[in-house]
Amino acid sequence: MVIVIDKNSDKKTIEASLKKIQVGKKKFKLSDFAGKLKGVFGDGVDFQKKIRNEWD
């Protein structure tokens, strides 16, 4: 989307046009994704040791 700001635009017009862009966007937090695979791999440390065990 393109916003055209003229030299004579006032602050209200600029803020209103910027709000049009931000309507559909949602900020994601890390907590939205934390724990999604809980129970699939068991304990995280044991899983990492099993996967990264290069000497066995």
- pLDDT tens by residue, 3-49: 888 889 899 998 888 888 876 667 777 777 776 666 677 777 888 88
Q: Where are the domains of the chain?
A: 11-54
Task: Tell whether the model's pLDDT for residue 52 goes beyond 90.
Answer: no
Residue 41 contacts by C-beta under 8 Å, 6 or more apart in sequence?
Answer: 47
Q: Name the more confident of 14 and 54.
A: 14
- Whole-angstrom Cα distance, residue 30 to residue 27? 10
pLDDT at position 11 is 92
Instruction: Tell me the residue type at 38.
Output: K
pTM over 0.75? The answer is no
Structure tokens at 45: 């440390």
The confidence score (pLDDT) of residue 24 equals 63
